[in-house]
Chains A and B, each alone.
Chain A
């Protein structure tokens, strides 16, 4: 299979403009003859569904939550990047492009990343027009803050709830189209399979989570906006329901999966407190603007936050400031996480488990006053206190890295189309723009860029060449997919084994974190592969799913998701094994610089790894899309 990225020729800055002109258009009268399915209603899905509805297409939108407003984009805290240069501090579209491609450790496409930077400015305009209450200065204009991996202030924010406000903006646009009858919304409905007719994506199979009804929906194109797969680790900052099922079923129907091993481990999360832990909570990266990260110079096992003030300045190691004087505490996430892990591996971690470092605001409070810090981070400080019982105004926070985001996802071309014609992937569900590491405040930017400003153009090019006739869901392709889904459900309900779904999920998560987490090596990955195969085998013979299909059955929902996570886990391990270089969030211990930084091998691995499913239990086949860099020079990433 030849992977064609469809990046337009010509100078970087003109590619998107030129491409938009060359795309075919669907005339307004014909748009109403096309049906489009949008799965997921986060930033990418809600913005796409609303915008396509506005254009005149008939949209069916699906989410598994009880309301589209609860998609996990809602939880994003820190902000959204845009090259507005409102601060007059030297920002530009090119600089945002450059920071993002460097931040991704040169494993993303130049053309995609430049387009992302280009449309970033439109996103802010759009959101403000919707009534999104971004933070403002006293003069009434928009405020900005700085974020990791950048030396300019280009991050727009709404206190620590930027994702919430952006999603509610997109949700409001979606509601308007629902009211107009252009979008039909299906809540508490989960996609369980993709339907192909003549090799094209023509529909999906869903389960109504309240009644258990298995339903077919046909359309002219299908958009997956279903987020990332961080929950493969069981513990992550993702919502409990976040899952890979839609993407994975599409993968098994022929959509190649790109760079599955690229996982983002976020440096500032609240550490694990015990075995009961069900998820991890992020503390926004914006805290690193004012918080200083440190551990004691000499190991102090069990050091508590309230005793931290007693450690004199001379006995503290502000390791990020020491190692990276120019970026200091604002190094990118992969670098900050790895350094925190190293400190803990050296035994200098703090707290009861030794798996934590301090994030200290005492200097910032002394400098700016408590009220200033409260205005910036009040809700985050409250959340921290609620969860841990400690007061971060008085003692430092304790933080530790946690799985947060997955840069990998379905392989898409410049038009966001997967290798299955008519099937698109948007937002975190695709692999495209962040390379091997995503910079802070770039996920919201990408989700909205894809939904508001890319797909509305590119989908027309595909639909314009398609007959408008609708396709019946009575066709055998739908029936066959439906039978398979019902078969899987029956199988899960009849195993009646001894272990709960969560037990399997925790075992899988533990294996992934241990061997395919912040640091990976050949031997560990091989061990993980065997272990995951064992988990899979036991799952299908010993899982216990109570209740039936024809009712709200949360255990059954979980079981189907975990079954897919197990298979994905094995592919992540395969991908991590194949990529024996370090790049961004993917750190292979065999490939590091003398001072422990990620060492890329550009001659061998400057490609996108796209995996093709070959059948149950078969080894997946690797396809390579070579990455061409014409504008940036590949260098060892340095934040020193």
Chain B
């Protein structure tokens, strides 16, 4: 296949970027999208041009590192990660435009690489159960209905790639944040801290500069792991309940 690529090149955070056009003449339909970029980079190196920087690691669709915005859609035309997208999805002779994730909270590091550390900080704000190693009960002490466990799993399947943010016109991180809040709100293990968790994670999300949710559903449509919009509804409910009866507020009135 012959493919024309328009790729965003940007030296670093503080310089301006621009599109550059490259021509590839020997693309195999069996290549993954990233393997096509490997070929492009080998070509560039042979020509003495600097290769395109892009994030990738497992190339199995699970680590969440890859992050290209392809023809106006995060991870391209299919609901999958970029590493699992294969060239057979494209037509011979096609022009493909590739950009980094676009969001204020995800500044560009170089070319197609962005800084997603805001996601880590949201998790650090409360995406855990406060238990130490050891001294926990036997795993089968608390039965969890299969339906609940399955639903928690569906939320837990988030890979933290950021496609939801890139897809959203408001660059909202509600789908990402709600997935963790949902998982832990559904499971008995997470119930003890569900209120502070919802409050803290939402507060952190807001402070990182992500936008608000206007229910367009683009995040769900583009999520490679099929994380459901229901999680956002659940997060809103959790947040609302928490703000009515916040644990912090009760503490102030208590001892």
Instruction: Spell out A's residues near B (CB within 8 Å).
Output: 47, 50-51, 54, 65-70, 72, 74-75, 84, 86, 122, 124-131, 133-142, 158-159, 161, 163-165, 168, 171-173, 175-176, 178-179, 185, 187, 210, 237, 239-241, 273-274, 276-279, 281-282, 383, 386-387, 389, 452-453, 456, 500, 502-503, 544, 546-547, 551-552, 554-555
Contacts and interface: CB of A to CB of B under 8 A. Distances in A.
A52 to B, nearest CB: 10
Given A136-B145, A171-B123, A552-B110, 9 more contacts: A67-B117, A128-B142, A131-B152, A133-B150, A142-B139, A273-B30, A387-B32, A551-B110, A552-B12
A126 B133 CA distance: 7
B253 interface: no
A26 B79 CA distance: 51
Contact of A130 (B39, B80, B113, B128): B128
Contact of A140 (B86, B146, B160): B146
Which 5 A/B pairs are nearest by Cβ-Cβ distance? A140-B143, A172-B128, A129-B136, A133-B153, A128-B139
Given A133-B156, A278-B35, A546-B45, A74 B63 contact: yes
Given A70-B64, A74-B58, A383 B42 contact: no
A612 B212 CA distance: 58
A129 B42 contact: no
Contacts of A122: 134
B248 interface: no
Nearest to B120: A67
Contact of A137 (B30, B124, B146, B187): B146
A161 B120 contact: no
Given A137-B146, A141-B143, A500 B128 contact: no
B42 A500 contact: yes
Contacts of B128: 130, 172-173, 175-176
Interface of B: 11-12, 28, 30-32, 34-36, 38-39, 42, 45-46, 48-51, 53, 55-65, 80, 84, 86, 88, 109-110, 113, 115-117, 119-120, 123-125, 127-134, 136-140, 142-146, 149-150, 152-153, 156-157, 159-160, 183-184, 187, 189-190
A555 B45 contact: yes
Nearest to A164: B62
B207 to A, nearest CB: 14
Given A164-B62, A210-B109, A456-B133, A136 B120 contact: no
A168 B84 CA distance: 21
Contact of A546 (B38, B50, B143): B50
B38 A276 contact: yes
Contacts of B61: 383, 386
B186 to A, nearest CB: 9
29 contacts: A47-B133, A65-B57, A65-B65, A67-B64, A67-B119, A67-B120, A70-B58, A74-B62, A74-B63, A75-B63, A84-B139, A84-B140, A131-B129, A131-B152, A131-B184, A136-B145, A164-B62, A168-B156, A187-B117, A237-B60, A273-B30, A274-B31, A279-B59, A281-B59, A383-B61, A452-B133, A500-B46, A546-B51, A551-B110
Contacts of A130: 128-129, 131, 189
Max chain A C-beta neighbours (<10 A), residue from B51, B57, B61, B129? B57
B133 A239 contact: no
A125 B139 contact: yes
A547 B49 CA distance: 9
B133 A68 contact: no
Nearest to A132: B156
A276 B27 CA distance: 9
Contacts, number: 213
B115 A240 contact: no
Contacts of A240: 56-59
Contacts of B150: 133
B131 to A, nearest CB: 5
B113 A552 contact: yes
Contacts of A544: 45
Contacts of A141: 140, 143
B133 A173 contact: yes
A124 B137 CA distance: 10
Max chain B C-beta neighbours (<10 A), residue from A133, A140, A142, A551? A133
Contacts of B11: 551
A80 to B, nearest CB: 12
A161 B157 CA distance: 8
A552 B123 contact: no
Given A128-B139, A129-B189, A551 B12 contact: yes
B133 A50 contact: yes
A131 B49 CA distance: 48
A75 B125 CA distance: 25
A133 B57 CA distance: 25
A452 B135 CA distance: 12
A273 to B, nearest CB: 4
A175 B30 contact: no
A35 B127 CA distance: 26
B39 A175 contact: no
Nearest to B87: A276
A362 to B, nearest CB: 25
B63 A72 contact: yes
Contacts of A86: 140
Contacts of B149: 133-136, 140
A503 B129 CA distance: 46
Given A383-B60, A546-B50, A555-B45, A124 B143 contact: no
Contact of B137 (A84, A129, A158, A452): A129
B136 A125 contact: yes
Contacts of B159: 164
Contacts of A277: 35
Contacts of B131: 129-130
A141 B142 CA distance: 8
